[in-house]
Amino acid sequence: MTYGQIAALCGSPRAARMVGGVAHFGLENLPWHRVVNKRGGLAAGFYGGRSAQAELLRAEGVEVAEDYLVDIDSLLWWPQQ
């Protein structure tokens, strides 16, 4: 998912930065490594940096490019409504 998606699902579609703040300072036991920006970019503020986030995603079978991008179009997930 993207930060913007989470914000929209919470009823505040313009609050993507706030979601990023929660991801950065929130509970560590949540799968924040699965959240990327709207272009599929990994988070520079992820604990351990982009390389740590990439390692976790690769361990789940997600392809991460050398420039720390994922194919957002093929991976984007929306919950069923």
pLDDT at 81: 63
pLDDT tens digits for range 7-59: 999 999 999 999 999 998 888 889 999 999 999 999 998 989 999 999 999 99
Domain spans, the chain: 3-75
CATH number of 3-75: 1.10.10.10
- Mind spelling out the 3-state secondary structure of 11-75? CCCCCHHHHHHHHHHCCCCCCHHHCECCCCECCCCCCCHHHHHHHHHHHCCCCCCCCCECCHHHH
Instruction: Give mean pLDDT, residues 3-9.
Output: 95
